[in-house]
Amino acid sequence: MSDSVDQTSVDHDTTTGEWRLIREEAWPGPMQMALDETAAETAAAGGPRTVRVYQ
């Protein structure tokens, strides 16, 4: 699971803070929900914000 995310992720640091872009693939619903939950928890803990792009 994490290998797929790492391969499609781009981390970026700007003057307004750190963020990452995840270009989405067609993953099952539970995987999509897990990615959303992880992104929200990371941001709430002060980590990078996540932008997910869906096709």
Domain, as residue range, for 21: 2-53
What is the structure's pLDDT at 45? Answer: 92
What is the structure's pLDDT at 23? Answer: 84
What is the structure's pLDDT at 34? Answer: 93
Q: Per residue in 5-43, pLDDT tens?
A: 444 555 554 455 788 888 877 889 998 899 899 999 999
The total of structural domains in the chain comes to 1
Backbone φ and ψ for 23, nearest 5 degrees, come out as -85, 115
DSSP code, position 24: -
